[in-house]
């Protein structure tokens, strides 16, 4: 039995109740097969794969907090410190009712390779809670964040583990978390990224994931002698990643037709009015259906995803498994040629199979959404040097990092005989650096 097969077999018994994690591991292991075959003896002796799939540490804790009516609630908090071979643990916190060990293990596992691809010294981690910030007052969110940090502060630090935002965690939550950390540890240090500009945040971190995604789209298109100008683009989600992906795509001349939330999709054939979306989502924390009140010519498709509308490019920017097989077939049948992921693992396994069969150009999230964590690492660098760079400086570095990721991914694919398979290229290029660092550091 092959080394990879052995690992897959053991994991599928041991972690049968963790489907998202198993799927993420299977995808990476199948991509790196040629690298593992070429180094099998060395990797087996050093248990590289056994260690790669086992988190260094999982922290699970109780988070009690009191709502505005005086009622006590108890949520579950997590931090997964998956791999620190190339730098301190780094990755977001997700607050969403669906959060569980399987989802956080998949996200932190993916984060290892994503962070490696950025070329910056950051390891892989992720955390969060099953707390739902929707509909909570600012005071309730603050109470929750303070209680969450009352436990988390023991395990994080500027050179140890540096969390950031993800679904349900934005500037407001990072502010409350940072304030409580500082109070508990009496340290004003870069323990979190995505901080406000007035207390150590980096310019362009808010925009980084969405802008970086579009820089990647642009890179892919230019290698196909094509441009974004006039392209019909479908975006899902209407949060941090979606909003700034729409902004940059429009600046580059694309026609963005949709955005969405978990209740439904807005289709605006004249192009999404981003000022309206920002007002609803960033100022009022409202629902995307409210778009219709301001733009009566748009359509609201209740309970639907954007993927049945004709387009050239699809940018899933909401959540995992939001493009299933039938959605992929709709995209393909309606003329879509590129799928570039803003979210983490938004395409199901079956959807990716359909992209492959139908010649869709596909870039996986761990490469195309890496701009967010890359600028987080630039925020860490600014914090430790006590300096701050201008928006233009950071944006220029982000642009260069995304172009660099594209070349790493496409050359790794080429080197291992799978030219144009960016999923394989991203997994191979991300893995090679981590494996080398793990080998160098011995059995730890
Ligand atoms: P936000 O919380 O800002 O926005 C999330 C958006 O996705 C909302 O519109 C939300 O709608 C929608 N959404 C969330 N869960 C679901 C669901 N189960 N079904 C349908 N829609 C859903 O999060 P971000 O924009 O930060 O994150 C979006 C994705 O990008 C995630 O996969 C995240 O892991 C990934 N990512 C984020 C980075 C960052 O820097 N923020 C960096 C790299 C990746 P609703 O309000 O209805 O829940
Ligand atoms: O999935 C991700 O890369 C993020 N949520 C951002 C992580 C970070 O540390 O900036």
Question: What are the backbone angles phi and psi of residue 297, rounded to the nearest 5°?
Answer: -85, -10
Strand partners, 74: 64
Nearest to 350 by CA among 327, 375, 369: 327
- The ranges of the chain annotated as CATH 3.40.50.720 are 206-368
Q: Separation of 345 CA from ligand 2 center, angstroms? A: 13
CA of residue 81 to ligand 1 center, whole Å: 22
CB 376 less than 6 A from any atom of ligand 1? no
CATH 3.40.50.10860: which residues of the chain? Answer: 58-193
Q: Assign a CATH topology to domain 58-193.
A: Rossmann fold (3.40.50)
Name the one residue in this structure whose structure tokens are 């807005």.
266
Q: Which of the residues are catalytic? A: 126
Q: What would the pLDDT profile of 251-305 be if each residue is shown by its tens digit?
A: 999 999 999 999 999 999 999 999 999 999 999 999 999 999 999 999 999 999 9
Residues of the chain above pLDDT 90, percent: 100
- 103: which residues sit within 8 A by CB, 6+ positions away? 20, 94, 320
- Give the Cα separation of 55 and 53 in Å (integer): 7
Chain centre to alpha carbon of residue 130: 18
Ligand 2, atom nearest to 162 Cα: 9
Whether 144 contacts 68, CB under 8 Å: no
Backbone phi and psi for residue 295, each to the nearest 5 degrees, phi listed first:
-130, 90
167 lines ligand 1 (CB under 6 A): yes
At 83, the pLDDT band (50, 70, 90 cuts) reads very high
Q: What is the pLDDT of residue 90?
A: 99
Beta carbons of 125 and 82 less than 8 angstroms apart: yes
- Ligand 1 pocket test: pick from 24, 319, 343, 402 the residue with the most ligand atoms within 8 Å of its Cβ: 319
Find the ligand nearest to 259 CA.
Answer: 1
In the sheet that holds 232-235, the strands lie side by side as 299-302, 264-267, 255-261, 232-235, 313-315, 338-340, 361-363
Residue nearest to atom 2 of ligand 1 (CA): 167
Residue with CA closest to ligand 2 atom 10: 373
Q: Could you tell me the two tokens for 302?
A: 């209740």
Confidence of residue 402 (pLDDT cuts 50, 70, 90): very high
DSSP element (H, E) containing 127: strand 123-129
Write the pLDDT tens digit of every residue in 155-167. 999 999 999 999 9
Cα-only R_g, the chain: 21
Which of 99, 240, 258, 323 to probe ligand 1 with, by most ligand atoms within 8 A of CB?
A: 240
Give the pair of three-digit tokens for residue 130: 């099953």
Predicted confidence at residue 338, as pLDDT, reads 98
Would you say the CB of residue 430 lies under 6 angstroms from ligand 1? Answer: no
How far is the C-alpha of 365 from the C-alpha of 343, rounded, in Å? 6
Nearest to 386 by CA among 258, 251, 200: 200
H or E stretch covering 171? helix 171-185
Token pair 């996986």 is found at 364
Substitution site in 88, 96, 209, 345 for ligand 2 pocket (most atoms within 8 Å of beta carbon)? 209
pLDDT, residue 373, reads 99
- 230-243 pLDDT, tens digit per residue, is 999 999 999 999 99
| Position 15 confidence tier, pLDDT thresholds 50, 70, 90 | very high
Alpha-carbon dihedral 261, 359, 211, 430, rounded to 10 degrees: 110
pTM of the model: 0.98
Residue 49 Cβ inside 6 Å of ligand 1? The answer reads: no
Residues 204-218: tens digit of each pLDDT = 999 999 999 999 999
Q: Which residues of 129-143 are buried (b: 16+ CB within 10 A; e: fewer)?
A: bbbebeebeeebbbb
Record the tokens describing residue 194, joined without a space: 């995505």
Contacts with 222 (C-beta within 8 Å, 6 or more apart), sequence order: none
SS3 content of the chain, % helix, strand, coil (to 5): 50, 15, 35
269 CA → ligand 1 middle, Å: 23
Helix axes 138-152, 171-185, angle to 10 degrees: 50
Backbone angles phi, psi at 421, to 5 degrees: -90, 90
Q: Position of tokens 């309970």? A: 303
Which amino acids bring their CB within 6 angstroms of ligand 2? 90-92, 114, 164, 166, 193, 344, 372-373, 376
Give the per-residue pLDDT at 238: 98
Would you state the pLDDT for residue 149? 99
* CB 209 near ligand 1, within 6 Å: yes
206-368: CATH number: 3.40.50.720
Give the whole-angstrom CA distance, residue 234 versus residue 271: 10
Q: Give residues with Cβ within 8 angstroms of 359, minimum separation 6.
A: none
pLDDT score for 64: 99
Query: How far, in Å, from the CA of 91 to the mean position of ligand 2?
Result: 5
Q: Which helix (H) or strand (E) holds 105?
A: helix 101-117
């Amino acid at each position: 039995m092959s080394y990879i097969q052995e690992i897959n077999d053991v994991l599928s018994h041991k972690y049968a109740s963790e489907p998202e994690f198993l799927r993420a591991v299977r995808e990476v292991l199948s991509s790196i097969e040629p690298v593992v075959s070429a180094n099998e003896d060395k990797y087996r002796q050093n248990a590289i794969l056994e260690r790669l799939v086992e988190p260094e540490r999982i922290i699970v804790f109780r988070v009690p907090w009191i709502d505005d009516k005086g009622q006590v609630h108890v949520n579950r908090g997590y931090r997964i410190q998956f791999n620190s071979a190339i730098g301190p643990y780094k990755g977001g916190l997700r607050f969403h009712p669906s959060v569980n060990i399987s989802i956080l293990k998949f996200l932190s596992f993916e984060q290892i390779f994503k962070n490696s691809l950025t070329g910056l010294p950051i390891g892989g981690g992720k955390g969060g809670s099953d707390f739902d910030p929707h509909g909570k007052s600012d005071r309730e969110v603050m109470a929750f964040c303070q209680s969450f940090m009352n436990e988390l502060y023991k395990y994080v630090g500027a050179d140890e583990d540096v969390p950031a935002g993800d679904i349900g965690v934005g500037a407001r939550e990072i502010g409350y978390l940072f304030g409580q950390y500082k109070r508990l540890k009496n340290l004003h240090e870069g323990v979190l990224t995505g901080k406000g500009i007035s207390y150590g945040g980096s310019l362009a971190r808010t925009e980084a994931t969405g802008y970086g995604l579009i820089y990647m789209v642009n890179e892919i298109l230019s290698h196909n002698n094509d441009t974004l100008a006039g392209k019909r683009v479908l975006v899902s989600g209407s949060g941090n990643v979606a909003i700034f992906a729409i902004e940059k795509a429009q600046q580059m001349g694309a026609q963005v037709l949709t955005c969405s939330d978990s209740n439904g999709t807005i289709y605006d054939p004249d192009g999404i009015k981003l000022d309206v979306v920002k007002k609803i989502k960033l100022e009022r924390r409202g629902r995307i259906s409210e778009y219709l009140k301001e733009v009566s010519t748009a359509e609201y498709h209740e309970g639907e995803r954007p993927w049945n509308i004709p387009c050239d490019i699809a940018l899933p920017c909401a959540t995992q498994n939001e493009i299933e097989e039938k959605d992929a077939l709709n995209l393909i049948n309606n003329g879509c040629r590129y799928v570039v992921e803003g979210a983490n693992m938004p395409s199901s396994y079956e959807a990716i199979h359909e992209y492959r069969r139908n010649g869709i150009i596909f870039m996986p999230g761990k490469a195309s959404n890496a701009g967010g964590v890359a600028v987080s690492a630039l925020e860490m660098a600014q914090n430790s040097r006590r300096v701050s760079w201008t928006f233009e400086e950071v944006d220029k570095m982000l642009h260069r990092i995304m172009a660099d990721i594209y070349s790493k991914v496409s050359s790794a694919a080429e080197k291992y005989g799978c030219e144009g398979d960016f999923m394989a290229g991203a997994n191979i290029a991300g893995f090679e650096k981590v494996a080398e660092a793990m080998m160098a550091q011995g059995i730890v």
